Structure 1
């Protein structure tokens, strides 16, 4: 039950097989990005067919998918964050730090069923508009059909709240090997 008017997590409905036809999103934040990322799987048209395991009708054992008890690991995903480029063209040079170049780091996360959700991050590259991380992360996925890869670039801030740089969300089912 919800009492506020913030964005809700669309994964909750998707993992239980709900076909949502409308999203009432209140602002640009994580859950809106996840929703847009999931819909990239069908060209961004706003509809993605349910995975086959959620469409099973007449299962001989009457099994229903339980997102809290997902199957064993189905797939491994390795993500390498190489570098960040283009911020110096998009932001004023004093946008992040008043007297020095920004200190960027990248958060890489999986949105999906609870067992798949994990967050990792690169180290912060200090005072550089062209940061090079060359860091790899591996994720084990139990329900890759419902998983979305979240990538968010942030600027380290000594106040504790990082400044937003950029983000993207991509459906795991659409990812291919390579860069």
Structure 2
């Protein structure tokens, strides 16, 4: 019951507690700094999905930094906000849970209306993936010219999680042009991450990730934008995507 307590939960314990008493768990984050850590059975140093912890207000979601996987990339994207200092504010409905009665599991599907005490303004995100520039190859050892396509995904409360992708462009990593438009209805923009992944299509084996970028939806600016993509280890690259962003209130 004291603010200097910092309880730790494994990902398995978090799943159990969040399902049985999600509001009680969020209330604990008002008094304590809670930490979630990967399960000990992850001998390959893989990572759990940090979104599960963030949706319940967990302040410290520990990940295996030695593994540059998709979950680490979400973590990099989450903390781009606030100047990349490592600290960001939670939405009010995760802070004043007595008033908001926010339960992330009430929003598995897109709701027709939000509770009046939840301070969110649903938005429609319209993205046009216009073109790419200087897309890197899947490996320094290959001479294969990539057949790139883009996957756009949104991550946050369950009702906001969506995945869409472009067609692939054959043998063009220099300046592929897609000109494809996608629409996402987002009900919790303050909790939403938008992610861009560029893959190399391969008919005979698995598709290789070429580069990515992830950012909070609240940091996106409208109009024509260049996205400076990052490598799997989060290092900057020369690769970019040229897109158009429209954000409308629903």
CA-to-aligned-CA distance 1:109-158 (integer Å, 9 cap, x gap): 00111111111000001111221001111101111111100100011011
Query: In the alignment, which of 192, 196, 214 is matched to residue 151 of structure 1?
Result: 196
Q: Is the 8 A contact 1:16 1:65 kept in 2?
A: no
Q: CA deviation at 1:20?
A: 1.1
**Which sections of structure 2, spanning at least 5 residues, go unmatched?**
1-11, 13-38, 115-121, 226-250
- Contiguous gaps of at least 5 residues in structure 1: none
TM-score, with structure 1 as normaliser:
0.86
SS at match of 2:51: helix
Return the offset for 1:44.
Answer: 1.2
Residue 39 of structure 1 pairs with residue 79 of structure 2: yes
Residue 108 of structure 1: aligned partner? 152
TM-score, normalisation: structure 2: 0.63
Q: How many residues align?
A: 172
Give, in whole Å, the separation in 1 of the partners of 2:200 and 2:138. Answer: 14
Offset, 1:104: 0.5
**Alpha-carbon distance, 1:88 to partner:** 5.9
Q: Is the 8 A contact 1:6 1:26 kept in 2?
A: no
State the partner residue of 1:66: 103
CA RMSD of aligned residues (A): 2.2
Q: 1:56: which partner in 2?
A: 96
> 2: CA distance between counterparts of 1:13 and 1:21?
6
CA shift at 1:26, angstroms?
4.1
| Residue of structure 1 in register with 2:169 after alignment | 125
3-state secondary structure, aligned to 1:32: helix
Shift of 1:47: 1.1
Structure 1: how far apart are the matches of 2:64 and 2:136? 34
Q: Is 2:131 the partner of 1:86?
A: no
CA contact (8 A) 1:149 1:172 kept: yes
Q: Which residue of 2 aligns with 1:162?
A: 207
Greater relative CO, 1 or 2 (CA 8 Å, sep 6+) = 1
Between Structure 1 and Structure 2, which shows a larger proportion of strand residues?
2
- Distance (Å, rounded) in 2 between the aligned partners of 1:96 and 1:30: 26
